[in-house]
């Protein structure tokens, strides 16, 4: 049984809660290993279509546990997976960040590794590494300029200052703003909307959106075509069309 995270599955949604409130949900190597296992389980389970990552006690995460690092000398990095067991190799299934309180340093980089973000309107984000003579090397410098305008990303990284959920929403980093205490509920609502769709199509769409970011306009359709061909010959595609014609909800098989 995991000691530092809680995992629950309900109605096709796997909720992973970082549960180290005494350390503001900072990530130790042991926490990262448990998170990596939870994401592997999420991808392996046929009854899970989407995941939600959140933190206990109204805080998302303050990033790497520096006290644990000082004590053990071990960074919170899993080989092949990166910080927190997933930032360099996110799960194949969509992942929503449900943010309350602070998402700082590695905590903010975990948010950037997620596919969608729901946050309380009083939440705070930040990449303060430069204030410590470090750099945000777990995706902050690479992902943030892809999520928000270049000049704003530069400001966030180079100043190391926190920025509000309201400002993050203004620049498109957050999908849904909620009242404080309701981020997880909002993320569950969003997950339910997504999980109504074909599971094979959901995973394929996530993969193609991410891979397509690096494709040139003259190659993108040729590169996309073989990666989506299986969708149109799938049982789910046939079921979706049949259900539409019969005016009923589809019964997906993920095949």
The per-residue pLDDT for range 159-208, each reduced to its tens digit, is 999 999 999 999 999 999 999 999 999 999 999 999 999 999 999 999 99
Exposed/middle/buried for residue 34 (C-beta within 10 Å: 0-12, 13-18, 19+): buried
Domain total in the chain: 2
Examine residue 251 and state whether it is found in any structural domain, yes or no.
no
Task: Give SS3 for 206.
Answer: helix
Task: Tell me: do 210 and 224 sit in the same domain.
Answer: yes
**Model-level pTM greater than 0.85?**
yes
- DSSP strand pairing (95-99 vs 50-55): parallel
Examine residue 41 and state whether it is found in any structural domain, yes or no.
yes
Task: Tell me: do 24 and 136 sit in the same domain.
Answer: yes
Task: Give SS3 for 216.
Answer: coil
Task: Tell me: do 156 and 178 sit in the same domain.
Answer: yes
- Provide the greatest CA pair distance for the chain: 62
Look at residue 120 in the predicted model and tell me its pLDDT. 98
Selecting among 88, 109, 211, 246, the annotated active-site residue is: 109
Look at residue 166 in the predicted model and tell me its pLDDT. 97
Give catalytic status of residue 129 as yes or no: yes
Look at residue 68 in the predicted model and tell me its pLDDT. 87
Examine residue 250 and state whether it is found in any structural domain, yes or no.
no
Examine residue 254 and state whether it is found in any structural domain, yes or no.
no
Task: Tell me: do 162 and 79 sit in the same domain.
Answer: yes
Look at residue 222 in the predicted model and tell me its pLDDT. 95
pLDDT in tens, the chain (255 residues): 889 999 999 999 999 999 999 999 999 999 999 999 999 999 999 999 999 999 999 999 999 998 888 888 888 999 999 999 999 999 999 999 999 999 999 999 999 999 999 999 999 999 999 999 999 999 999 999 999 999 999 999 999 999 999 999 999 999 999 999 999 999 999 999 999 999 999 999 999 999 999 999 999 999 999 999 999 999 999 989 999 999 999 999 889
Task: Tell me: do 89 and 134 sit in the same domain.
Answer: yes
Q: Quote the strand ranges of the chain, DSSP E.
A: 5-10, 13-18, 50-55, 77-78, 82-83, 95-99, 102-104, 116-120, 124-126, 163-164, 176-178
- Residues 4 and 20: beta-carbon distance below 8 Å: yes
Examine residue 252 and state whether it is found in any structural domain, yes or no.
no
Task: Tell me: do 124 and 178 sit in the same domain.
Answer: yes
Look at residue 71 in the predicted model and tell me its pLDDT. 87
184: its two tokens: 């997880």
Selecting among 129, 196, 211, 246, the annotated active-site residue is: 129
Task: Tell me: do 179 and 224 sit in the same domain.
Answer: no
CATH number at residue 206: 1.10.12
Q: How far is CA 142 from CA 87, 145, 150, 218, in A?
A: 12, 6, 11, 24
Look at residue 39 in the predicted model and tell me its pLDDT. 98
Task: Tell me: do 130 and 241 sit in the same domain.
Answer: no
Task: Tell me: do 238 and 174 sit in the same domain.
Answer: no
- Domain boundary pick from 179, 195, 211: 195
Examine residue 106 and state whether it is found in any structural domain, yes or no.
yes
Task: Tell me: do 130 and 82 sit in the same domain.
Answer: yes
Give the domain range for residue 185.
5-195
Task: Tell me: do 149 and 33 sit in the same domain.
Answer: yes
Task: Tell me: do 100 and 131 sit in the same domain.
Answer: yes
Rounded distance between C-alpha atoms, residue 93 and residue 228, angstroms = 16
197: its two tokens: 């769709």
- Domain boundary pick from 164, 179, 195: 195
């Amino acid at each position: 049984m995991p000691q530092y995270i809680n995992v629950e599955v309900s109605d096709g949604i796997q909720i992973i809660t970082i549960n180290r409130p005494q350390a503001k949900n900072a990530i130790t190597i042991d926490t990262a290993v448990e998170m990596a296992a939870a994401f592997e389980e999420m991808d392996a389970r046929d009854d899970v279509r989407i995941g939600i990552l959140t933190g206990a006690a109204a805080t998302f995460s303050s990033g790497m546990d520096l006290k644990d690092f000082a004590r053990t000398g071990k960074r919170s990095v899993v080989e092949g997976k990166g910080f927190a067991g997933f930032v360099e190799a996110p799960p194949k299934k969509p992942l929503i960040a449900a943010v309350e309180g602070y998402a700082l340093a590695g905590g903010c980089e975990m948010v950037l590794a997620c596919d969608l973000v729901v946050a309380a309107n009083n939440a705070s984000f930040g990449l303060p590494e430069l204030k410590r003579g470090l750099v945000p090397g777990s995706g902050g410098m690479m992902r943030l300029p892809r999520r928000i305008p270049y000049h704003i990303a530069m400001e966030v990284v180079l100043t190391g200052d926190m920025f509000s959920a309201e400002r993050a929403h203004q620049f498109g980093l957050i999908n849904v703003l909620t009242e404080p205490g309701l981020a997880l509920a909002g993320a569950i609502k969003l997950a339910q909307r997504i999980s109504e769709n074909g599971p094979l199509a959901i995973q394929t769409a996530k993969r193609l959106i991410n891979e397509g970011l690096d494709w040139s306009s003259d190659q993108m359709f040729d590169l996309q075509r073989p990666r989506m061909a299986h969708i149109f010959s799938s049982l789910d595609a046939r079921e979706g069309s049949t259900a539409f014609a019969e005016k009923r909800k589809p019964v997906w098989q993920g095949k």
